[in-house]
Amino acid sequence: MAIVSGGQPVSAADENNQYINVNVASRTFGIATTTDATPTEVVFVAGVQPGVYQYKVQATGHNESAAGEDVGYFFVGAVSCAADGTMADVGTAVKHAFEHASSTGCDIAIDVATNNRIAFKCTGEAATTYNWSAVVELFGPADS
């Protein structure tokens, strides 16, 4: 079993004296406001090094003009970063959307278009103000 303390890599020996290294790369928080259906960055993680990263995102969007027409998202997935910094999705992320029936035009998605950077963009609805908040937990490869 691996042990993680305070986000720092820690090694632990199992019954076969095999060591497991775990590195929690980051926990990042962000906020944004959308006033239309244009994707807007809510949170990002920069300086990603080569390897495979797993992420977990929780995000909420509050509709400023219509009480109760809010949204919430939870999703997990993985991305890889090549030695040249090129980012790519690994498989398909699993997303759970909790949306009011009138807010189904909203969304949050990963953007890996920029090298060494993982961004998350939220999309609101046309002519509607949404206030967004998000937290991303990014788990990186073990230190060698």
Residue 23: what pLDDT? 54
- 24-140: CATH number: 2.60.40
Instruction: Give the pLDDT confidence of 2-39 residue by residue, as tens digits.
Output: 333 344 444 455 555 554 445 555 788 999 999 999 99
Task: Share the mean pLDDT of the chain.
Answer: 82
Task: Tell which residue, 55, 20, 30, 44, has the closest CA to residue 140.
Answer: 55
Task: Look at the chain and count its residues.
Answer: 144
**In this predicted structure, what is the pLDDT of residue 34?**
94
pLDDT in tens, 112-137: 888 888 889 999 999 999 999 999 99
Average pLDDT of span 85-100: 93
- In contact, 62 and 70? CB cutoff 8 Å: yes
Q: Could you please report the per-residue DSSP string of 7-64?
A: TB-EEEE-TT--EEEEEEEEEEEEEEEESSSS-EEEEEEE-PPSEEEEEEEEEEEEES
**Which tens digits make up the pLDDT trace of 98-109?**
999 989 899 999
Q: What is the mean pLDDT of residues 72-81?
A: 94
Report how far residue 46's alpha carbon sits from residue 74's, in angstroms, rounded to the nearest whole number: 21
Question: Is residue 58 very low, low, confident or very high in pLDDT (cuts 50, 70, 90)?
Answer: very high
Note if the pTM is more than 0.85: no
